[in-house]
Amino acid sequence: MTKESSAAKVRPMRARILERLAAPTTAAALARELGTSRQKVGYHLRELEEQGLVELVEERRKGNVVERLVKASSRAYLVSAEALASLAPDPAAAVDRFSSAYLIAVAARSVREVATLRERAQKAGKTLPTFSLQADVRFANAKSRHAFAEDLAEAVARLVAKHHDEKAEGGRHYRLFLGVHPAAAPEKESPE
């Protein structure tokens, strides 16, 4: 199930909490793991629960205290490009296909489509056939980056021409997109 909300604020602390909620746990256990106070974690858990990103699994009484076990309500979350005002939501709206706005729009469309198809497949008790490829490449300069882009485009065009069969009865269309962008250096987390 995909949760989408432009009002949902997933701050760094909340993102760290969500990462750890694949299995049910308590605020106290999360606080120990994150090295922060139970009250702080509890506050963020309540906010995430209100946004529908976290759900209650069980309540257990331990002496005078009621311990709440919670977990993430989904295994994946989609942040829509529409929620980020400066990003182009539709690849057709981007004029420059070499712009970061175009790359983000194409990637956002792919995330939306895969999330929707994954949810449908899960409801039907099926798996969604996908293929992902990721590689890191270091270019010496802009000229070598351009040559790589040309070679990659030619190779993809050749593969698509070889395997695409418009008339295949019962065939299914697949969307292929490739994007190249500079790798982001890890940022230091700011405490929340």
pTM more than 0.75: no
Domain ranges of the chain: 12-72, 81-163
List CB contacts of 61: < 8 A, sequence separation 6 or more: 67
Say if residues 36 and 150 touch (Cβ distance below 8 Å): no
Which residues of the chain fall short of a pLDDT of 50? 1-9, 81-88
CATH class of segment(s) 12-72 = mainly alpha
What integer pLDDT is reported at residue 6 of this predicted model? 32
pLDDT at position 87 is 41
What are phi and psi for residue 60, nearest 5 degrees?
Answer: -130, 140
Q: Count CB neighbours of 31 within 10 A.
A: 17
Neighbours of 81 (CB within 10 A): 21
